[in-house]
Structures are given as C-alpha cells and as structure tokens.
Amino acid sequence: MTKTTKKTFSILLGALVLLMSLSICFVSFAAEESGGCGSGLTWTYNDASRTLTISGNGVMNDYTSYGARPWNSFCSDILKIKIENGVKKIGDYAFQYCNAITKIELPDSLESIGNFAFYSCHALVSVTCGSGLKTIGNYAFSDCYALVSINIPDSVESIGNYAFNYCTSLPSLTIGDGCIGIGSNAFWYSGLKDVVLGKNVQVIGQSAFSYCKLINVTMYNQVESIGQYAFSYQNDSSASIISHVYYHGTEVEKNEIQFGADNEPLLNAEWHYISDEPVHTHAYTATITKAATCSAKGVKTFACTCGDSYTEDIPLDPTNHVHTENRSGLAATCTETGYTAGVYCTDCGKWVSGHATVAIDNTNHAALDANGNCPRCGKHVKDVEKPAEPTTQPNNEPSEKELNFFERLIQMILNFFAKLFGR
Ligand SMILES: [Zn+2]
Ligand SMILES: [Zn+2]
Ligand SMILES: [Zn+2]
C-alpha cells in the first residue's frame, strides 16, 4: 500500500464512519421524537424541555419489561411526564426508573395505573391522581422512596400488592372511600405514621402495613379480614406498638373482624370506638294513652320516632265518671229532708245529676200511735175515737165467711155429680 492510497483509504474510512455515526444519530433522534404507545395514543418527547407527553384517547400498551418502552433509552433524561386527558391507562412498566421526574399529575380520564408503572422513580415526590382512577397496579409506586404525597381518590377500588412498598418518605395517607381491598405488602416498609382507611375497605392483605412507623390507624366497621402480619413490626422498636386505633364502629363489630396471626401491634393499641350515627335530638309527640277518670289518674305518653319514650300522670278528672247508675230519690219526712232521683257514680261515690234536696214535709208522719201522735216528730196529728166496748152476744148464725164456705161446698158437690153423670 502506497502512502497516497493509505491516506485516501483513511479519509474514506473516516468519512464512512462520520456518515454512519451521523445517520445513526439522525435515525435514533428521529425515533425518539414521537411514536405510538397504544391504541389511539401517541407519545412526543421534547428534547429541550425534556418533557414526555402522552396524548390521545385510549389505553397505553402494557410493556413486558421496562426495556420494551419506546422511551426507554432516554428515560433517565425525562424531567417531566405530561399525561393528557383522554389517556385511560398507564401501561405496565411505563415509567419504571424514570429517575428524574419529581412530580406527576394524572388526568381525570385515567382509570388504571399498570403494574410497575412508576417502580423505582427515585426522585418522585408528589403524585396527584385524577377523579376517575380505579386501580393502582402491583408495585405501581414501589421503591419510590422520595414520595411524600399522593392522594387516593374515592374512585379507587383496589390497591395492588406491593403498590407502595419502600415508599419510606410517605408520612401519611388517606385512602378513598371507594377502596374495597388493599393488596398484600401494599405499604410494606413504607414510612407511614398515620393511615386512614376508606369507609368501605373490607380486606387488608397479608403484611400490608408491616414494617411501617404507624402511630395512628383509622378504620371503619366494613373491615372483614386483616391478613397475617398486616400490622406487625412497627416503629423499628422491640415495643412495636401502634398507639391508637380510631375504629368507626362498635367493639362488638371489631370482635367480628377476622384477624390473621401476628397483628399484636394493632391489637395491643388503644382502640377508640367512634359512632358515626348523626347526633339525634329527641322530638316527642304526646298521646293520651289512658284518660283520667274521677277515681283513677290518666297516662300521657311522650314518644320520639327513635323509639325513646316516657310517661306522665294525668291528674284525676272529676267530671269523667265511668260507672254510673240511676238511683231513686228519698221522700222528705216530717223531720228529715229528702232528695230527688238522679245518677250516681259508683267509682267516686258522688251524684252526677239530680239528688236535689226536698224540704221537710210536715205532712209525712210516721205511723201514728194510739193517741194519734207521730212518734217521729212527736206532734199530735189526729184525735182517735176510742172504740166502743165490744158487746158480747152469742151468735149461732153462721158468719158471712162461714156461709160462703157452705155455699161453695154445695156447688162443688153438685159439679162433681154433674161430671159423674155426663151432664
Ligand atoms: Zn329520639
Ligand atoms: Zn265518679
Ligand atoms: Zn211527724
């Protein structure tokens, strides 16, 4: 090889290398600019603002690993991820290891966050979920150890296994009222000190809150089962105890929860039983349940719609006579007044009507004595003629009485014979 040939060759080689590298650079730059990432969805990356925008209307692909994402080669450069309204799902592994993003706002259209979607996003501090979110996948925010704040709206129905495990900076969380199940290990080794479980949480998975720093736990009477180790190993101390459980329900309801083994830190906490019944002010309606009579007190009952009631006596009613009868009057006499007939109450012993006093009757004397005096008033009423001395004459004639007897006897005999002879 001559020197010239050598030089020409090296120039050619250099040009080729330059061309190749330029074309690679161009191709790769063009591929990273934009593309599809699901049915109806596109992604665009703005290199200057280091912003990845997902737009369109649809569901993002579930990637089988983080290497399969279109933006994987520059995922660590992404400062900001903008997910526009219309996106319904963030696919599995979509933003795993996007270590530069610090905050993300999810649109109301988003219904689902896939498995491992934000796994190990080590700079992620704040997540705002939209009002349409229903499911948070397994490991969705696992190992986001800088995460300080996230809201779980009422629309969220379930939180996946390991969804927030190793979120060691997360101090507190209120889970929305739509959530029914919390996956196993969901908050395992998180920094939670306070957690409020939504009103409808029924199932808490195994180890869901173990190795947290829980001091206060609020839960409702919908909880049916708590998995083994769900609240074990708190506070990194051998004491390992939760201070307070604010239980919206009764102690009876609490005792119906199926507690898995190894939940002593929860069971040994101080349980406060909170009633959510609205404060009720009694409003009583009075009813006369027993009327008062002349001889018996009545009863007035005051009842509230809640079932509470009390009674009060009604004083005697001197005009309400129940058992009455007509009684005859009493004639006045020469010494005593009388009274008219009327109606008498046998309950109270009082006259209801009539019973007017009749003045002394100077003519109504008792049977007179032999001298014509009234033994009652002592007055002389009438002169009595002394009967004449009886004349004692023997009398053989049958008396009127005797005569009548004989006449009747004869008639009876005549009748007897008349019957006997058939006349
Ligand atoms: Zn009441
Ligand atoms: Zn009476
Ligand atoms: Zn008299």
Domain edges within the chain: 30-151, 166-277, 285-314, 321-382
Ligand nearest to the CA of 321: 2
Nearest-angstrom CA–CA distance, 7 and 138: 60
% the chain with pLDDT above 70: 86
Residues pairing with 380 in the sheet: 373
CB 206 within 8 A of CB 230: yes
> pLDDT tens for residues 188-233?
999 999 999 999 999 999 999 999 999 999 999 999 999 999 999 8
CB 414 within 8 A of CB 420: no
Residue 200's pLDDT is 97
Ligand nearest to the CA of 293: 2
Q: 372 CA distance to ligand 3 centroid (A)?
A: 10
Enumerate residues 6+ apart whose C-beta is below 8 A from 392: none
Instruction: Quickly state the pLDDT bin for 13 (edges 50, 70, 90).
Output: very low
Query: Mean per-residue pLDDT for 397-418?
Result: 70
Residue 27's pLDDT is 44
Q: 337 CA distance to ligand 2 centroid (A)?
A: 24
Q: 340 CA distance to ligand 3 centroid (A)?
A: 20
> pLDDT tens for residues 50-66?
999 999 999 999 999 99
% the chain with pLDDT above 90: 77
Higher-scoring residue by pLDDT: 416, 176:
176
Residue 258's pLDDT is 97
Q: 378 CA distance to ligand 3 centroid (A)?
A: 6
Ligand nearest to the CA of 350: 2
CATH code for the domain defined by 30-151: 3.80.10.10
Nearest-angstrom CA–CA distance, 225 and 180: 11
Higher-scoring residue by pLDDT: 405, 253:
253
Residue 33's pLDDT is 82
Per-chain mean pLDDT for the chain: 89
Residue 226's pLDDT is 97
Q: 273 CA distance to ligand 1 centroid (A)?
A: 22
Q: 368 CA distance to ligand 3 centroid (A)?
A: 8
Q: Has residue 276 got a pLDDT over 50?
A: yes
Q: Has residue 6 got a pLDDT over 70?
A: no
Q: 307 CA distance to ligand 2 centroid (A)?
A: 35
Residue 390's pLDDT is 61
| Helix or strand (DSSP H, E) at 203 | strand 203-204
How does 316-333 read in b/e, with b if 16+ C-beta sit within 10 Å?
eeeebbeebeeeeeeebb
Q: Has residue 247 got a pLDDT over 50?
A: yes
Do the strands 203-204 and 225-226 form a parallel or antiparallel pair, or are they unpaired? parallel
Q: 421 CA distance to ligand 3 centroid (A)?
A: 66
Q: Has residue 73 got a pLDDT over 80?
A: yes
Q: 377 CA distance to ligand 3 centroid (A)?
A: 4
Ligand nearest to the CA of 366: 3
Instruction: Quickly state the pLDDT bin for 19 (edges 50, 70, 90).
Output: very low
Residues pairing with 225 in the sheet: 203, 258
Residue 65's pLDDT is 95
Residues pairing with 128 in the sheet: 105
Residue 410's pLDDT is 78
Higher-scoring residue by pLDDT: 403, 274:
274
Ligand nearest to the CA of 277: 1
Q: 283 CA distance to ligand 2 centroid (A)?
A: 36
CB 292 within 8 A of CB 317: yes
Residue 396's pLDDT is 59
Q: 290 CA distance to ligand 2 centroid (A)?
A: 16
Q: 329 CA distance to ligand 2 centroid (A)?
A: 19
Q: 161 CA distance to ligand 1 centroid (A)?
A: 46
Q: 285 CA distance to ligand 1 centroid (A)?
A: 10
Higher-scoring residue by pLDDT: 167, 237:
167
Weakest-pLDDT range from 23-27, 79-83, 140-144, 185-189: 23-27
Q: 309 CA distance to ligand 1 centroid (A)?
A: 8
Q: 333 CA distance to ligand 3 centroid (A)?
A: 7
Q: Has residue 26 got a pLDDT over 80?
A: no
Q: Has residue 236 got a pLDDT over 80?
A: no
SS3 (DSSP) at 419: helix
Ligand nearest to the CA of 310: 1
Do the strands 258-259 and 225-226 form a parallel or antiparallel pair, or are they unpaired? parallel
Q: 301 CA distance to ligand 1 centroid (A)?
A: 14
What's the token pair of residue 340? Answer: 């008219």
Nearest-angstrom CA–CA distance, 320 and 295: 9
Q: 301 CA distance to ligand 2 centroid (A)?
A: 24
Query: Mean per-residue pLDDT for 114-126?
Result: 98
Q: Which residues surround ligand 1, an ion (CB under 5 A)?
A: 282, 304, 306, 308
Ligand nearest to the CA of 309: 1
CB 184 within 8 A of CB 164: no
Q: 324 CA distance to ligand 2 centroid (A)?
A: 7
DSSP of 63-101, one letter per residue? Answer: PSSGGGSTTGGGGGG--EEEE-TTEEEEPTTTTTT-TT-
Weakest-pLDDT range from 221-225, 276-280, 346-350, 359-363: 276-280
